[in-house]
Structure 1
Amino acid sequence: MIRESLISWRKATEKLILILDVQDDEKRDEVIEQVESLLVERENLQASIQAPFTDEEFTFGQELLPLEKILQAKLKVYLKDIRVDIADQQKKKVSVNAYMDPYNQVFRDGTFYDKKK
């Protein structure tokens, strides 16, 4: 008999893998909230998954290892995408500010600029 916590762990992992396949930028906030809640759920389940394991639970756990690797890879890719988007937004912010005030970054080296024409 496999413990309910192991079965719930697998279901949460499979949900996470499916959720992380969503690449829609408009739904990113919803996806992040779902990912966070499922990760918290998995963290809570982890406390109840302790040795000793039966042979059936051990083989079930061996089946979970490839799912964990897939999940870790997808989480890394999703995090990388978020970081890239944040960096792009910061670059846009800097370029917009430079466009709005082009003389802000001009270094004054003590030379005289005649303003009269």
Structure 2
Amino acid sequence: MIRDSLQAWKNVTEQLLIELDDHDENNRDHLVDQVEKTLEIREKLQPSIQPPFTEEELIFGKGLLPLEEKLAMKLKGQLRDIRLNISDQQRKKVSIHAYMDPYSQVNRDGTFYDKKK
């Protein structure tokens, strides 16, 4: 007999994979909120999954390993995408500022300063 907490863990993991598959670039904030809520549910289930495990639970757990690997890859991909978007926004901010004030980065070495007033 497999514990309910293990079944719930598998269901939540599958739900998380579905959420990550059906994401929309324009609605990333909603996706992040959903993923956080689902990860909190998994975190609450974790303490109830403790040894000793029956033989059936061990086999079931081995079946969960590919799901966990797939989930880890998808979460890393989302993190990479978010980091890329943040760096793109920072680059755009710098380039817009340089466009608005083109002389802020001018090097003043070797210029003549008139000391007479």
Establish whether TM, by shorter chain, passes 0.5.
Answer: yes
| Closer/same/farther in 2, CA of residues 8 and 72 from structure 1, 3 Å limit | same
Pair 1:53-2:53 in alignment = yes
- 8 Å contact kept, 2:98–2:104: yes
Separation (CA, whole Å) in 2 of partners of 1:40 and 1:99: 44
Normalised TM-score (structure 2): 0.92
Q: Describe the shift of the 1:105–1:22 C-alpha distance in structure 2 as closer, same or farther (beyond 3 A).
A: farther
> Which residue matches 2:108?
108
Q: Distance in 1 between matches of 2:23 and 2:103?
A: 39
Partner of 1:74: 74
Moved over 4 A (4+): none
Once residues 27 and 9 of structure 1 are traced to their aligned partners in structure 2, the CA distance between those partners, rounded to angstroms, is 26
List aligned pairs for 1:9-88, cutoff 5 A: 9-88=9-88
Q: For 1:24-58, what per-residue CA distance to the aligned partner results, in whole angstroms no more than 9, with x for missing partners?
A: 12210111001111111111111000000111111
CA distance in 2 between partners of 1:8 and 1:23 (Å): 23
Name structure 2 gaps, 5 residues minimum. none
**Does the aligned pair in 1 maintain the 2:23–2:31 contact within 8 Å?**
no
* CA distance in structure 2 between the aligned counterparts of 1:5 and 1:76, rounded to whole angstroms: 25
Aligned to 1:94: 94
**Structural RMSD (CA):** 1.4
**Counterparts of 1:86 and 1:113 in 2: how far apart (Å)?**
41
Identity value in percent: 60
Instruction: Give the structure-1-normalised TM-score.
Output: 0.92
Alignment: residue pair count: 114
Distance 1:113 1:17 in 2: 65
Residues in 2 aligned to 1:57 and 1:68: alpha-carbon distance in whole angstroms: 16
